[in-house]
Amino acid sequence: MFNFGDVNDSQKTAISTVEGPVLITAGPGTGKTFTLVQRAIYLIQESGVAPEQIMMATFTEKAAKELITRITNELTARNIIANVNEMYIGTFHSLCLRIIKDNLEFTRLKKNYRTLDAFDQAYIVFQNISRFRAIPNIESVFSTGAWRMAQEICTYVNNLLEELVDEKALKSDKNESIYVLGNVLEVYKQLLEESNLVDFASIQTEAYRLLHDNSEILNILQQKIQYIMIDEYQDTNYIQEQIIFLLAGEKKNICVVGDDDQGLYRFRGATIRNILEFPTKFFPGLCKVIPLVTNYRSNSDIVDFYNKWMDVTDGAKFKFSWDKFRYPKKINPHKKSLMNSSAVIKLSGVESEEEWHEKILKFITDLKYSGQLTNYNQIAFLFKSVKSERVTNLAKYLEANNINVYSPRSDMFFDRDEIKIALGIMMLLFPSYIIGLEQNAYQFLRPELKSYYVSCIKLANDFLNKPEHISFKRWVYNHGKVHASLKGSTDYTYSGLLYQMFEYEPFKSILGIDLTAGVADVRPARNLALLSQVIGKYEYLHKIDVLSTKTINKNTEILFNLYMRLLYEGGISEYEDDAEYAPSGCVSFLTIHQSKGMEFPIVIVDSLSSTPRKSTRDILVEIERKYFARPTYEPYDQIKFFDFWRLYYTAFSRAQDLLVLTCNEDKRTPSLYFKELYNELPSIDSSEFDIREFSFKDVKPVNLKETYSFTSHISVYETCPLQYKFYKELGFMPVRAGAMIFGRLVHETIEDIHRAAIRKEETTITEENVTKWFESNYAAISKAEHSYLGEAQRSVALTQVLRYIENQQDKWHLIQQAEVDVSLVEPNYIIEGKIDLVKGENGTVEIVDFKSEKKPDLNLQAKRLEQYRRQLHIYAYLIETRTGQKVSNMHLYYTGEEDGVPTITYPYTKTAIEGTMAGFDKIVKKIMKKEYNKCCNDIKVCKNCDFRFYCQHQ
């Protein structure tokens, strides 16, 4: 009998209704995640469903990690053995990428494709803007500025891709603007295909096309995935709905969960109609609708307040009706507040911004000194945007008064001293650039950016001119002298210079920080890591491997006057830790969108001057009417009201114990949409508010299971804990040193051979075909890495592959799996590994790991071979524990071996594997404790490490 625990009737129904379509409308704080977790457990325990038959799609990576963690913890508590990592759990994009990866040969993509983030996408368009400008009459639709045009193109193509609009149809339209967009979409698609790229929108279109056009693949997935659960369904778009229904097939075991009142992502293509129309997708009465309306999060005053917000849809000079565009509901508090004090109040400034700052500071300090507030992280400020000067001024004021502010999306990255000093010194290293700056030679450099660069240079000079920094100053001078009269080329790039700077203060102390310190203390180190990523990406996009006489001035100007300019204007978000959404000792400054899914004891909502604004584009309205698969849903004149009400409903419902509305009052603030409700609220100075009656909850700890592998984590840590700290924990980007594409080329071609064998297509494994696969892989790798092999090296690589075929003739039937991603959920973390080959017969399997080199001397390379042996132990443990198959042998296969036996074989020994796993667990515990104090003493390792300059005086 399934133990439901302490659930209400609606939750119990939602958990146990597992057959057929189900819609769970879950209001704020109604236990949505708990219900989803228990529903997955019910499927496994009560219905006997295998984990790999369950798919759960979430909106964020953090939500996916949380689901995996909570499900595995619950299974452990119930003594149920099941490997949750076999479930399809992840964001829509990650699940689509998984489907694409498993069936890559049926898509337009080739191996080594690159996924573009939003900036990458716009920058690629920007770099190819001439191709778009060649489209007749494009200026009638888009801005003329290259960067603005690139951004607008991305906005349009993302929308068109996600609605599966055909560019040929657009190109046949007589409307000139629609015709232009058809051509833009066509050129954009060509650009992606030519460069083997995929963006977030086309990840989904590729997955959809793959499933829609390949019935065999779709049938296999439909047989495998028997139950589908979709979280945050109100934020899904058209193509996601199509993918869901394709995968569900005739079974229709789809459970969607969401809150139509919290639909916030229309600007990303989401549509509320998916959740509102879901029951109509089936025969009448077939879909079970289960409302969750009991709120366990918030004080009853807060619940009453946001219920009223959704009900009041008219006032002075405005009126709208929800009509059919909202499920009627009233959220009920779990229990009525017994306090006399109101839990919803206002905090108003009336004279000046300074007075408002002082009132907020006094409110926070009064909370602290009352003893009711035990940690600043119990407070969250929510804004429509955290980038405005008004918000950043408040953050700076609080920090000046010893209240740390956590605001990763406020775009303060470029204002941080560590970044300004680093950029200032970087510019000083290139005297020619400084001269151009002084002489106003850069006509496209906007005054505000020039002013920023001048402030960076001044800060850097002030720092370098201090007596204690004379050695750093000398280093800058010497390098500047070299760059000013460079002959030939250097053996470093801009990234290399950044890493050399880490030898000196202030960077040395910043990087030496103990990572168990608070977020404000670790932030400078994380920002330097982010700067390394920014510069590293610039070098990749512009194919910069060295600084040379011919290109040094041009590349430096592009770096600062173009690339950095675009990032400066667009802003860079600082580091966010999924495992600590409310860092201890800091008040949080978050956007309302960012706060979705979170809860805080005290929430202070600002941005009360906001008004509903139209967000639709006329040309897209016309395209929607003509070419979208579905007719228009919500009335265009009402959308701005719907979105505005949903946004602030989400904000108000984040509060657990106390909700504060705040603004600096004037004629327009609060706006007429808030004024009536705002005026009814008691002030913090009112007798209706008594802080002594409150007992604020602690912020809930977030326990997320992290994933570790032998090669990416354990081996790195064992080589050098400091390297692990910098590369894996902080996220520094390694300097690109000639990509090792020989091994990848051999490896990927052998993978193609194995895939053909698994498909029972052994007859296609011929020298002619394998050579074609080899050349295709080489083209994709060299394009991705901007690196090339000489003809002689390519010939050696192909010979290794062909020799492998010779050695394996008549043994293809033994291959069971190739390039196997294996993972296993342990009590405190997840282990993963990627196995090159699994083969075998008669009930046992053998594991093969390929090395594209000659077989080593067993004595001279003992240490290295021992590392490989332990890696095979991990793979054997994963295979046996996850599948129950017995592993008999483990092999290293050396494709470079010409005459002798190409393998080194290790027999399966249980005690040896147990020893390796104990060592694995020991290292993981050190990583989880952030024990990164030790430095590597191996000269070979240090010689090739980017941080050798930082470490040399350690």
d(CA 103, CA 213): 12
Helix (H), strand (E) at residue 774: helix 767-785
Distance between CA 929 and CA 580 in Å, rounded? Answer: 15
Q: Give the residue ranges of the chain where pLDDT is below 50.
A: none
Q: What is the DSSP string of 886-952?
A: EEEEEEEEETT--SS--EEEEE--HHHHHHHHHHHHHHHHHHHTT--------HHHHHT-TTHHHHT
What pLDDT does 738 receive? Answer: 56
CB 244, CB 207: distance < 8 Å: no
The total of other beta-carbon atoms located within 10 Å of residue 435's CB is 11
Q: Is 549 annotated as a binding residue?
A: no
**Rounded to an integer, what distance in angstroms lies between the CA atom of residue 274 and that of residue 235?**
8
Tokens 């657990």 map to which residue? Answer: 656
Per the document, the length of the chain is: 954
To the question of whether residue 33 is assigned a binding role by annotation, the answer is yes
- Report the C-alpha gap between 495 and 457 in whole angstroms: 19
Q: Which of 614, 621, 624 is nearest to 163 (CA)?
A: 624
pLDDT of residue 860: 80
The whole-angstrom separation of Cα 269 and Cα 162 is 7
Q: Is 650 annotated as a binding residue?
A: no
Q: Dump pLDDT digits (tens) for 819-832.
A: 888 888 888 999 99
Nearest to 103 by CA among 248, 252, 208: 208
Q: How does pLDDT run across 618-644, given as a tens digit for each residue?
A: 899 899 999 999 988 999 989 999 999
User: Token pair 């504060």 is at which residue?
Assistant: 660
Place of tokens 């939750």: 11
Q: Looking at residue 863, what is its pLDDT?
A: 87
256 has which bridge partners? 23, 230
DSSP 486-544: --SB-S--HHHHHHHHTTSTTHHHHHT--TTS-HHHHHHHHHHHHHHHHHHHHHHHTT-
> How do 815-825 and 844-851 pair as beta strands?
unpaired
HEC letters along 387-401: CCHHHHHHHHHHHHC
DSSP symbol at 219: H
Q: 29 labelled as ligand-binding?
A: yes
Which residues partner with 56 through β-bridges?
89, 229
Query: Is residue 522 exposed (0-12), middle (13-18) or buried (19+ Cβ within 10 Å)?
Result: buried
**How far is CA 639 from each of CA 240, 276, 715, 796, rounded to the nearest angstrom?**
22, 15, 53, 63
- Which residue ranges form the domains of the chain, and what is each CATH number? 9-103+205-295 (3.40.50.300), 114-195 (no CATH), 318-410+584-608+619-693 (3.40.50.300), 413-570 (no CATH), 707-928 (3.90.320)
Task: Give dist(CA 572, CA 593) in Å, integer.
Answer: 17
Residue appearing with tokens 């400091």: 722
Tell me the backbone φ, ψ of residue 758, rounded to 5 degrees: -65, -35
* 57 appears as a binding residue in the annotation: no
What is the C-alpha separation between 37 and 14, in angstroms, rounded? 11
Torsion, Cα of 392, 394, 396, 401 (10° steps): -170
Instruction: Please report the pLDDT score of residue 954 as a whole number.
Output: 57
Residue 937 token pair: 């003493």
Q: Say whether 314 sits in a helix, a strand or coil.
A: strand
Single-letter amino acid, residue 48? G
- Other beta carbons within 10 angstroms of residue 791's beta carbon come to 7
Which residues is 662 bridged to in the sheet?
A: 347
Please check if 207 is assigned to a binding site. no
Q: What are the structure tokens assigned to 67, written together? A: 């689901």
Report d(CA 1, CA 12) in Å as an integer.
14
Residues 561, 565, 566, CA angle at the centre, nearest 5°?
A: 130
Residues 853 and 303: their CA atoms lie apart, in Å, by 66
> What is 420-472 written as a DSSP string?
HHHHHHHHHT-HHHHHHHHTT--TTS-HHHHHHHHHHHHHHHHHHTSGGGHHH
27 assigned to a ligand binding site: yes
Pick the closest to residue 193 from 103, 129, 113 (CA basis).
113
Helix (H) or strand (E) holding 723: helix 721-723
What's the 3-state SS for 24-74? Answer: EEECCCCCHHHHHHHHHHHHHHCCCCCHHHEEEEECCHHHHHHHHHHHHHH
Question: In terms of DSSP bridges, do strands 318-319 and 314-315 run parallel, antiparallel, or are they unpaired?
Answer: antiparallel
User: In terms of Cα–Cα distance, which of 637, 651, 547, 538 is closest to 591?
Assistant: 651
Give the span between the Cα atoms of 937 and 943, in whole angstroms: 10
**Integer Rg of the chain from CA:** 30
3-state SS track over 222-243:
HHHCCEEEECCHHHCCHHHHHH
Strand arrangement, sheet containing 600-605: 344-349, 655-664, 600-605, 379-383, 586-591, 404-406
